[in-house]
Amino acid sequence: MKVKPIKCDGLRELLSDSPLYRKILLNPEIAIDPRTLYDFGFPFSCNCAEDPQTHLLKLEDYTIKEMTDHLTYGFGPGDRSKKYGEYRLLDEIGQRFIEKVIGQCQNCKKDNPMFLIEFFTEKNEVGEYYLYGKKIGQTPPYSVKAEGYVSKILSKENLDFYRKALMNLSGNYGIGAFVYFRRVVESELIKLLEQVSELDDPKSIKVKQLLEEHRLTHKTPDLLEEVYGFLPESLKGLGTNPFKLLYGSASVGVHKLSDSECLEKALSLRYVLDFVLKKIYEEKNEISEVKKHLKNLSID
């Protein structure tokens, strides 16, 4: 089969990071020739390695045959121009098809995750069709297990809330997930900065001073603004102040947001929170170990 795999950030997000039933905008070329799904690359965790591995999307032989037959012959006489999965409802024409796809790990070559994906078009306000995808099945299931660094940095109580947030995410409960993540951020934000102030870093002393001032003034926005200049470089990796992002998200009024808006916010909040937890964990462990050895070897 000589069809080039599609380029589509939405599809990568759908396969690698999305819980079930989350609707994601896709490249419309998939609807024109769904065989472009074949060999699409995306990261996914595999038992063969600790870090996520590149997986290539595979379709069953009979699926490819069905798609090829459709694109070559259509559905039969008079139906040649019909698009794949096309339906007509009154004056509405759309496309909808559900495909079983498999991810093959490029490290161990084993077939690993299996997804059931619903592809469907929806008309926007100006009458154009957009293509969306939604996972409706996945094995192994969307993980509700917190990463190792998360459980090592968060307090026991907040780890429990974090896990509840993941459970809400996996069930597509956006408001629930967002509220649990916010709860973690609200009660953990200052504690995280305290952990930063304990790091073996020359700038830590400044972080400590700012925290002491904060204990008297309680002006959290000022603290977060000023602390940025004294964070370890690794915590600045997003190119913006992650603590301000976390604090800002915790002050958004949930009552104004729909469930799906909350789901998107919960996913972003998790991304930034995980980033901060991972960097603090690395600074506390691996990096402090490296610094210790460098100190031992330095000649002065």
- Choice from 105, 150, 231, 246 touching Zn ion (CB under 5 A): 105
Size of interface with Zn ion, in residues (CB under 5 A): 5
Structure tokens at 25: 């905008």
**Contact call for residues 37 and 30 (beta carbons, < 8 A):** yes
In angstroms, what is the minimal distance from the CB of 101 to Zn ion?
17
Q: Which range in 8-16, 101-109, 169-177, 261-269 contacts Zn ion by CB under 5 A? A: 101-109
Question: Site mask, Zn ion, residues 115-154, x = CB under 5 A?
Answer: ----------------------------------------
Helix, strand, coil percent values for the chain (each to nearest 5): 50, 20, 30
In angstroms, what is the minimal distance from the CB of 50 to Zn ion?
11
| Of residues 113 and 174, the one with the C-beta less far from Zn ion | 113
d(CA 242, CA 269): 10
254 binds Zn ion (CB under 5 A): no
- Choice from 108, 167, 205, 238 touching Zn ion (CB under 5 A): 108
In angstroms, what is the minimal distance from the CB of 105 to Zn ion?
3
**Contact call for residues 95 and 32 (beta carbons, < 8 A):** no
Helix or strand holding residue 262 (H, E)? helix 259-282
- Placement of tokens 């100006």 in the chain: 126
| Of residues 1 and 108, the one with the C-beta less far from Zn ion | 108
Distance, CA of 191 to chain centre: 25
| Of residues 54 and 170, the one with the C-beta less far from Zn ion | 54
Q: Which residues, numbered 19-78, are part of the site for Zn ion (CB under 5 A)?
A: 46, 48
| Of residues 44 and 178, the one with the C-beta less far from Zn ion | 44
Pairing type for strands 53-59 and 41-44 reads: antiparallel
In angstroms, what is the minimal distance from the CB of 249 to Zn ion?
34
Structure tokens at 232: 């370890």
Structure tokens at 77: 């006489």
Strands (E), 33-184: 41-44, 53-59, 86-89, 92-105, 111-123, 129-139
Q: Could you check whether the bond before residue 140 is cis, i.e. omega within 30 degrees of 0?
A: yes
For 180, list phi and psi in degrees, rounded to 5: -65, -45
| Of residues 36 and 53, the one with the C-beta less far from Zn ion | 53
| Of residues 52 and 237, the one with the C-beta less far from Zn ion | 52
In angstroms, what is the minimal distance from the CB of 103 to Zn ion?
10
- Choice from 107, 234, 285, 288 touching Zn ion (CB under 5 A): 107
Q: Which residues bind Zn ion (CB under 5 A)?
A: 46, 48, 105, 107-108
